[in-house]
Amino acid sequence: MKVVATAAVAVAAGGLLVWYARHRSAASLPSQSAPIDEAEAAGAKVVATPSVRRPSFVVLHSGDFAHDVGEMIIAGVRERVGVRGKLLHMDGFKRWADELSLGKEGQKDVVVCFIVATIENEQPPESAGACIRFFNRTSNPKGMLARGSAPLQFTVLGLGDSNLLLDRQTTTAKDCNQVAQKLDARLEELGGRRFYPRGEVDDRTGSLELAPWIDGIWDPLCNVLQN
């Protein structure tokens, strides 16, 4: 069975953890737990001792497969360090950014994992438009994401599909993830602090790039949430 078919079936059945288990070592796989409800996660807060202030944790996703990957990351962090993260669709970005005072004086401490797709013509999905446009504003001053007690800490995962490219037989994940690449560079330019390197996934190859990226995220992510 081709990996592409395996991934498609697993995701369709809501079994991303099962698919992931077939493409990685068992050491860092979070145990199967109840799905993370977005409404529940939206009101969740970081577990911390009263005397220690921790950053909040948010996964911003552009929908569909990005949601499933985000749910897995949320579950893994919750199991490892007891942090209850927030899983948020990018169409709710504006309200979240306002609540956070993102890019303004008094910006709240936050760790963000951006999971965004690139579709035709190197564009983001429509639902991710507000998020991408916010960071791409030419009026944004450099350093705006470092206005809080700590800069916004981030990582970016790109979900692309080289099947959309004319020369798809000779392309790789880096050729179909322009939205993630530009967002990653822009966040750093605006003063954000990258805690884990950008990941790039290609649907044409069955998203084989995803498993090693997920394997590597746990230590740096847990470290920034605890320190």
Task: Please write the tens of the pLDDT for every residue from 84-126.
Answer: 999 999 999 999 999 999 999 999 999 999 999 999 888 999 9
Residues 6, 205: Cα–Cα separation, whole Å? 11
**Residue-number span of the structural domain to which 201 is assigned:** 3-226
Helices 129-136 + 178-189 axis angle, to 10: 40
pLDDT at 173: 84
Task: Please write the tens of the pLDDT for every residue from 122-134.
Answer: 899 999 999 999 9
In one-letter notation, the amino acid at residue 14 is G
pLDDT at 23: 54
pLDDT at 157: 98
pLDDT at 148: 78
Instruction: Report the CATH number that the domain containing residue 199 is assigned in CATH.
Output: 3.40.50.360
Closest to 58 in 3D by CA, of 154, 147, 142:
154
pLDDT at 22: 55
Which of 66-80, 140-154, 168-182 reaches the highest mean pLDDT? 66-80
Count of domains observed in the chain = 1
